[in-house]
């Protein structure tokens, strides 16, 4: 392969002229460095390889190189770094969602508390709420009503429903913190 593309300005101009040899040169001379960078961030060989491959596909297919205003090498590194961080962040979010997900049990609509003592503490805390706050809390969390439905049924505004919910949740947190 010719080294006529070793100057990044010449390489960039050749890419803009759709020279496939220039793209091949860029790919062959950059992929390993970009792979190592991606691997250092995502810690998964297949994912790092895929990130670099997808980057080069996007670079050529969407002609991204035409809008490069900084050094081509700096652009390559920053782009792959950003893709790797985005990939890692998506994995973290997916993992958090998986950990918090409780699959519904077939035929069960309400999840009974397994710990009776905890159930008594929670019910007692709900009973000690101010009248309207307790009523609004029960309507939303037990009867599964929306703020709009609660407001219509009680003849109050949605903002008042929100205020009662805020108060109820604040007091429940404080009560449960003391008892647990």
49 and 21 co-located in one domain:
yes
Q: Is the pLDDT of residue 56 over 70?
A: yes
Q: Is the dihedral of CA 69, 72, 74, 76 positive or negative?
A: positive
Task: Between 48 and 173, name the one with better pLDDT.
Answer: 48
Please report whether residue 34 resides in a domain: yes
CATH number of the domain within which 141 lies: 1.10.10.10
Q: With pLDDT > 70 as the criterion, what percentage of the chain qualifies?
A: 89
Total domains in the fold of the chain: 2
Are 135 and 153 spatial neighbours (Cβ–Cβ below 8 Å)?
no
pLDDT band, very low/low/confident/very high, at 161 (cuts 50, 70, 90) = confident
Helix ranges, the chain (H): 8-16, 20-42, 45-61, 72-100, 116-127, 131-141, 147-154, 158-179
60 and 145 co-located in one domain:
no
pTM: 0.54
156 and 92 co-located in one domain:
no
67-103: pLDDT as tens digits: 888 889 999 999 999 999 999 999 888 887 777 655 5
Please report whether residue 106 resides in a domain: no
132 and 94 co-located in one domain:
no
Domain residues for 164? 116-179
The CA distance from 170 to 168, in Å, is 5
Write out the two tokens for 20: 């496939």
């Amino acid at each position: 392969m010719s080294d006529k593309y070793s100057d990044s300005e010449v390489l960039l101009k050749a890419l803009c002229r759709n020279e496939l040899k220039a793209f091949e040169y860029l790919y062959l001379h950059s992929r390993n460095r970009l792979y190592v960078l991606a691997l250092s961030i995502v810690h998964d060989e297949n994912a790092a390889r895929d990130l670099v491959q997808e980057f080069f596909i996007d670079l050529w297919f969407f002609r991204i190189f035409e809008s490069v205003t900084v050094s081509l090498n700096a652009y390559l590194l920053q782009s792959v770094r950003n893709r790797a961080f985005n990939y890692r962040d998506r994995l973290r979010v997916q993992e958090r969602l998986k950990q918090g997900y409780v699959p519904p049990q077939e035929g069960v609509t309400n999840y009974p508390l397994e710990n009776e003592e905890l159930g008594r503490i929670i019910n007692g805390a709900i009973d000690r709420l101010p009248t309207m706050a307790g009523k609004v809390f029960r309507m939303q969390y037990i009867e599964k009503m929306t703020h709009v439905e609660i407001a219509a049924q009680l003849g109050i505004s949605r903002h008042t429903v929100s205020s009662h919910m805020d108060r109820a949740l604040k007091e429940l947190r404080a009560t449960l913190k003391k008892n647990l």
